[in-house]
Every structure is written in C-alpha cells, then in structure tokens.
A and B are shown apart, each in its own frame.
Chain A
C-alpha cells in the first residue's frame, strides 16, 4: 500500500521553501500606451528637443519616399520602408549617448542614419554592393540584421562586456513584433535580465509580420507584458508620438546606465507602406485601417504640437522641408553613381589570412576578369 492509498495519511503541503522572487506588479506595463503630444505632459517637453525631433522626422519621411523611389529605378534591390514608424526609429536613436551602441534590424535604416551613419552607406545592404557599407565602430552601430531577433543576444553580450570593462555603455536593440516569436528574442531577454545587462529592447509593433497580424503572432496581452516573465520592466508607448518615445527610451537608457538592468519597451505603431516594395499589402489589410493610422501620423502629430504652441513658424517649417529635400537630392545623386566594386574584395575578408584554397580561387577569378578585359579570343571559334 502506498502513502496515497492510506486514507487520511496524505496531507498535501506546499513545495518546500518556495517563495516568489519578487512582486511582479511594478514590472507590468500600463494598460494604455504612454503619450505626450496632445496631452498635459507636452507642456513639460523641451521645445528644442521637439524641434530637433521634428526636423529629423521630416528628413526620415523624405528618406523613406526617396529610397522607395530608388527601388523603382532599380537603384536599390529592395527597401523595407519605415513610413509611419519614423518616430520610433529616430526618437529612440536620439535617446542614446555617443558611446552607446545600436543593434538595428533590416527596417531600421532611419535609426542608423540618426546615429550619424552616411545615408548612402546605410543603404549598401539594400543596394546590394556589399553587406554592410559602414564601419560599425565609427558610430557604434552593429550591421543591419536580416535574420530576425538574432542581433538581440549580440546587444546583450556587448553591453555585458562593456560593463565588465567598467564602461557605462548602453545597448539599444531593435526588433519587430514578428521577431518576438523567435527563440533568440527569448534567450536575449533572459540573458539580459539574469546578467542585469544594460540593454534596452525596443519592439516596434507595426501590426504585421509581412502579412501576419499580431493576433496570429502572440496570445500575450501585449508584447510589453512579456517582460515580466524575464524579471524586467515592460513599458508601453505610443510609437507615433516622438516625444513619448524619446522620454520612455531616455528613462530606460538612464535606468540601464545606472546599473538597473534591461527594459522591454513596446512601441505601438503602424507600417503605412507594404512590408517592402515587393509586397502587396492590399491582400491582408483594408484601406480603412490604413486611413485610421494615417490620421495618427507621427510627423503630423509633432508638427501640430509645434505650430499650435508657436514653437515653429512657416519659415521654420519651410527650412526643415528644404533641408529634407537637399538630403534627398544628395542621396539621389550619390545613389546614381557607380559604386565602383572590386571583385577581388570577395576573397579578402573571409579569414584574417587568406587560405591556400581561396588564393587559388582568387587567381581563377583574376584570370577570368583579365580574359574579359582582353575581349573574346579570335581563335576560340576555331578551337571549338
């Protein structure tokens, strides 16, 4: 007879020494996304910051339309537009100090440019002349990551290493709503929380992972709710409100820098354009939804705040638009230039020291190129 079979002998008891590690309540996000523009909180915002954000957002919008136009001219292989998401991209990047690092995904070109990377170099991956055009160390921007969420553990490792070295460097890691389903998202958040690494995770929830809506992506109450499972605070912010994004990100960066560990931020936004120029968004969403989000446009929200409060005048707006046009013209002109590729580059950066096998293959290509330059061999027809 076992213990369980002895009537009255078994007394259920709690598992030994179990207690919750912490009260999860402070980690939970607010029910509504945090907003600043159009609310009382806007009065407390720094006017210079708002003007700076506005100028960058207008440039960012123009960059998106210019890059999309370049795909139609065949100058870019593909462009994943961030129109509608400019506030997340730019306000987040501007919350970083120079010594901090950005870990972008493939849609985050505007954040990369906001860090100071040359607009043409930021497009190298999408143009197809090389994978990463910029020096990651020059502006502390990791290469644009095409695989989803795999750059997040890199951000954790870098932030952890910086802290071990005694540097107060923070890493900002960007990911989309679809990326939160990937295993690397989970592992990165878990590592960051266990190590108390100074990382800020920013999820730009733009509603769709290509065609799949958020409801088919996750059953969580919100993506920010996922934070509590790792033991870090989750924050929900209106991703189209540049002032709110900047404030929430700045708080999280400060918290991380002070040794408080990571934060998960969900910025609720919307992708106005299709996934890329190769995608047909009408197959999975209706015009009414897109129009509703157009009415909540990040550039217009900020512009309205600035004009209504007299922080910018017509001449100021004109200057901002002129600056964006000049940037677009420069981008257009430079993207129309031949990138001047050297095929020998193919072999130079596989290993620190080129292997014997790669040296042989390099010689083969060099001979092929030389033959191309000499033109077709007049004897070749006869030999065949």
Chain B
C-alpha cells in the first residue's frame, strides 16, 4: 500500500486516530485514565473519543494510577481490551506494583488461561520544559519485567501502526509515547493509515556504511540529524530505530553492525543500568569479531532528570552523538 500525503498530521493525531479506529473496530476496546474524557487528555491524545463512543468506552477515572491499572486488569479478565493513559512518565510509578506483580505475569501465573490484553500508554521523556516528575525515561524498569512488551514510536506512521498493534496484542504492552514528538508532523495519510510490522521489528531509518546508530523514540530524529551532519566528516552513518525494546530485534541490529563494524547506542534515559548497556552487551556477544571498536553509549547523565532550564545539558544532542562517532576511530587511536 502506498501512502499518499493529503495533509501533514502530528504524532498526537495519529495516536488518537489509532484509538478511534481500534474502538470502532472492536467494542471490547475501552480507554480509561485521568482526564481522558471531557478534556481529551492533557496532551489531547484522547480528544473526541468520549464524545464519539460515550463515557463508558472512554472513562474519566478517579486520580489513582494503581486503581486505574488495577481496574483495567479486572476489565481485561472479563474480556475487554483496556487502553490506559498514565498522563506523565513519573505518574505511572504508583501503578508499578500492579504492572510488575499482576499485569506482566497473569498469563504466566495461570498457565496461559488468563492473558491480559492491556495497553498502558505512558508519555515519556524530556525536552518539553516540563517541571520535575514530567520528563523521566523509565523504559529500563519496564524492560526488566518479563511478560511485558515495551514499544515506542518515533514517526507519525509508526505511532498509528504500533498503537493499533499494541491494542490488538493479547499481551500487555507498555506503549511509551515520546512526548517531545507529539507535535512532530510528517506526510502520513490519516485517511488511509498504513499498517506497521508486528511488534518486535526494528527498522533501518537511514542506510550507511561506516557505523550504526542504534536508537529509539525521541532520539531517532537526533540521530538522523547527526547522520546528516556527519557526512561532512566523511562518515556514512546507518540509523536503526528499534521501535520495540521488548521483544528485542537482535537480527536487524546485528545485521547492521556486522555490515558497519561500529555501533553507538543513543537514548535519553540514564546510561548506568539503562537500555544501552543491555544493547551493547547483546551486540558484543553476537558480533564481537565484526567490531572495529567498542560499542559506545550516548545517554542521559546518571542523575535524576534535571530541572527544565538545565535539561539541554543533559539530553543527548547531535554534538554528543558526533563526538561518540569520532571516538569510533579506535584503530587509528591505537
């Protein structure tokens, strides 16, 4: 199917469209969370859903994240497909026990008899000038919990396609929405939305020969910009957008690194104990003999997310990515 650009759409609009289409296609799909109904969500991602499908299908809940996700567990037990909004990354922490103690393991606990098809939408990451507790990148916590899928889109088309996949999944999916890309636009046709591949497939966003940038979510545009800038230095960078952190697409990542021989993992969350360590280890285990240099990480600093006036110093930007790329000249440095 070819996608024709009718008018530019934002990622937020694509996410709304995904929920709307899922709700229209399947009466079991219910949206719930704080402010999702009348207000349409603080980011307006659920805008219009309550009006179109009624308050029973798009429900303003009491302000209680454990209660929201806990109620979603019971709803899923009874055959519904709840889509839960957590409003902001750090607001999801009260629901963490429900997520790790019940949502992630109900299928396993019951030997497959009680799967929980729940989508937990969490706007995450920084770069929008949010005050404390509004900019965390918490993906490593979710990645460390078996039983959850963890996905994050970087493009408007992926936002639609991945959210449709997440809602259709018979497993719980933590759907991380890079909030600084909510208003990013591109030529995506909302009247004829494209499907994406099943959850678990990475995609090569830009092909190159001299090194691979492995990234996801909000850092994808940063890496694409860095790849363009690196051309001046003679670097031809490949950019892999993971899209799914769990399951992890070893195949696409390793195929790229074997071609280029060099890799940098780029993400906003902390480096220590962060996703980059896991990814670097996987590459080293699988591609050691193809590597010309150690796998490097460009991550946020190992500190609580900084206040908004300082966040630009924390967030990995194009320059920090280019510095890492320069360090990949391992042999030359001897």
Contact surface of A with B, Cβ cutoff 8 Å: 130-132, 135-137, 142-143, 147, 150, 152-162, 164-165, 171, 183-184, 187-188, 190-191, 194, 345, 348-352, 355-357
Q: Are A188 and B112 in contact (CB under 8 A)?
A: no
Q: Are B78 and A162 in contact (CB under 8 A)?
A: yes
- Known contacts A135-B113, A153-B71: does B97 contact A147 (CB below 8 Å)? yes
Q: Are B70 and A345 in contact (CB under 8 A)?
A: no
Q: Are B77 and A154 in contact (CB under 8 A)?
A: yes
Q: Are B107 and A351 in contact (CB under 8 A)?
A: yes
Q: Are B114 and A183 in contact (CB under 8 A)?
A: no
- Known contacts A147-B101, A150-B98, A157-B74: does B110 contact A187 (CB below 8 Å)? no
Our pick among A150, A194, A352 for the contact of B70 (Cβ within 8 Å) is: A150
Confirm or deny: B248 has a beta carbon within 8 angstroms of a beta carbon on chain A.
yes
Q: Are A154 and B73 in contact (CB under 8 A)?
A: yes
Q: Are B110 and A351 in contact (CB under 8 A)?
A: no
Confirm or deny: B79 has a beta carbon within 8 angstroms of a beta carbon on chain A.
yes
B94-110 contacts to A, CB under 8 A, are: 94, 97-98, 101-102, 105-110
- Contacting residues, chain B, for A155 (C-beta < 8 A): 74
- Contacting residues, chain A, for B106 (C-beta < 8 A): 143
Confirm or deny: B146 has a beta carbon within 8 angstroms of a beta carbon on chain A.
yes
Our pick among B61, B74, B79, B248 for the contact of A154 (Cβ within 8 Å) is: B74
Question: How close is A105's CB to chain B, nearest CB, in angstroms?
Answer: 13
Q: Are A137 and B113 in contact (CB under 8 A)?
A: yes
Question: How close is B110's CB to chain A, nearest CB, in angstroms?
Answer: 5
- Contacting residues, chain A, for B64 (C-beta < 8 A): 187, 190-191
Question: How close is B67's CB to chain A, nearest CB, in angstroms?
Answer: 3
Our pick among A150, A191, A355 for the contact of B62 (Cβ within 8 Å) is: A191
Q: Are B110 and A132 in contact (CB under 8 A)?
A: yes
Q: Are A153 and B74 in contact (CB under 8 A)?
A: yes
- Known contacts A351-B107, A357-B248: does B78 contact A136 (CB below 8 Å)? no
Tell me how many residue pairs across A and B have CB atoms closer than 8 Å: 135
- Known contacts A131-B109, A191-B61: does B70 contact A157 (CB below 8 Å)? yes
Q: How far is the CA of A158 from the CA of B30 in the complex (A)?
A: 13
Q: How far is the CA of A152 from the CA of B70 in the complex (A)?
A: 8
- Known contacts A154-B77, A156-B74, A352-B171: does B101 contact A345 (CB below 8 Å)? no
Question: How close is B149's CB to chain A, nearest CB, in angstroms?
Answer: 8
Q: Are B110 and A153 in contact (CB under 8 A)?
A: no
- Contacting residues, chain B, for A351 (C-beta < 8 A): 107, 147, 149, 171, 247
**A156-B70, A349-B112 known, 12 other contacts, Cβ within 8 Å:** A136-B114, A143-B106, A150-B98, A153-B69, A158-B75, A161-B75, A171-B74, A184-B67, A184-B98, A191-B61, A350-B107, A350-B147
Closest 5 CB pairs of A and B: A157-B74, A153-B70, A187-B67, A157-B71, A158-B74
Question: How close is B292's CB to chain A, nearest CB, in angstroms?
Answer: 26
Q: How far is the CA of A183 from the CA of B64 in the complex (A)?
A: 10
Q: Taking CB as reference atom, which chain B residue is nearest A187? A: B67
- Contacting residues, chain A, for B109 (C-beta < 8 A): 131-132, 143
Our pick among A136, A165, A352 for the contact of B170 (Cβ within 8 Å) is: A352
Q: How far is the CA of A265 from the CA of B280 in the complex (A)?
A: 54
Q: Are B108 and A161 in contact (CB under 8 A)?
A: no
CB pairs A–B below 8 angstroms (28 shown):
A136-B77, A136-B113, A142-B77, A143-B114, A150-B66, A150-B97, A150-B102, A152-B70, A153-B69, A154-B102, A156-B74, A157-B70, A157-B78, A160-B74, A161-B74, A161-B78, A171-B74, A184-B67, A184-B98, A187-B67, A190-B64, A191-B71, A350-B146, A351-B107, A352-B169, A352-B170, A355-B200, A355-B247
- Contacting residues, chain A, for B169 (C-beta < 8 A): 352
Q: How far is the CA of A153 from the CA of B69 in the complex (A)?
A: 8
Q: Taking CB as reference atom, which chain A residue is nearest B148? A: A351
Question: How close is A166's CB to chain B, nearest CB, in angstroms?
Answer: 11
Q: How far is the CA of A311 from the CA of B247 in the complex (A)?
A: 63
Q: How far is the CA of A367 from the CA of B146 in the complex (A)?
A: 23
Confirm or deny: B31 has a beta carbon within 8 angstroms of a beta carbon on chain A.
no
- Contacting residues, chain A, for B82 (C-beta < 8 A): 157
Q: Are B74 and A159 in contact (CB under 8 A)?
A: yes
Per-residue A-contact encoding for B60-94, CB less than 8 Å = 1, 0 else: 01101011011111111111101000000000001
Q: How far is the CA of A187 from the CA of B248 in the complex (A)?
A: 35
Q: How far is the CA of A350 from the CA of B109 in the complex (A)?
A: 9
Question: How close is B201's CB to chain A, nearest CB, in angstroms?
Answer: 11
Q: How far is the CA of A57 from the CA of B37 in the complex (A)?
A: 48
Q: How far is the CA of A359 from the CA of B71 in the complex (A)?
A: 33
Q: How far is the CA of A164 from the CA of B79 in the complex (A)?
A: 11
Question: How close is A156's CB to chain B, nearest CB, in angstroms?
Answer: 5
Q: How far is the CA of A235 from the CA of B9 in the complex (A)?
A: 55
- Known contacts A349-B111, A356-B247: does B97 contact A153 (CB below 8 Å)? no
Q: How far is the CA of A356 from the CA of B249 in the complex (A)?
A: 9
Confirm or deny: B190 has a beta carbon within 8 angstroms of a beta carbon on chain A.
no
Confirm or deny: B56 has a beta carbon within 8 angstroms of a beta carbon on chain A.
yes
Q: How far is the CA of A131 from the CA of B109 in the complex (A)?
A: 5
Question: How close is B257's CB to chain A, nearest CB, in angstroms?
Answer: 17
Our pick among B56, B66, B115 for the contact of A183 (Cβ within 8 Å) is: B66
Question: How close is B28's CB to chain A, nearest CB, in angstroms?
Answer: 9
Q: Are A153 and B114 in contact (CB under 8 A)?
A: no
Question: How close is B69's CB to chain A, nearest CB, in angstroms?
Answer: 8
Q: How far is the CA of A158 from the CA of B78 in the complex (A)?
A: 6
Max chain A C-beta neighbours (<10 A), residue from B73, B76, B82: B73
Confirm or deny: B250 has a beta carbon within 8 angstroms of a beta carbon on chain A.
yes
Q: Are B62 and A190 in contact (CB under 8 A)?
A: yes
- Known contacts A154-B73, A165-B78: does B108 contact A349 (CB below 8 Å)? yes
Q: Taking CB as reference atom, which chain A residue is nearest B200? A: A355
- Contacting residues, chain B, for A161 (C-beta < 8 A): 74-75, 77-80
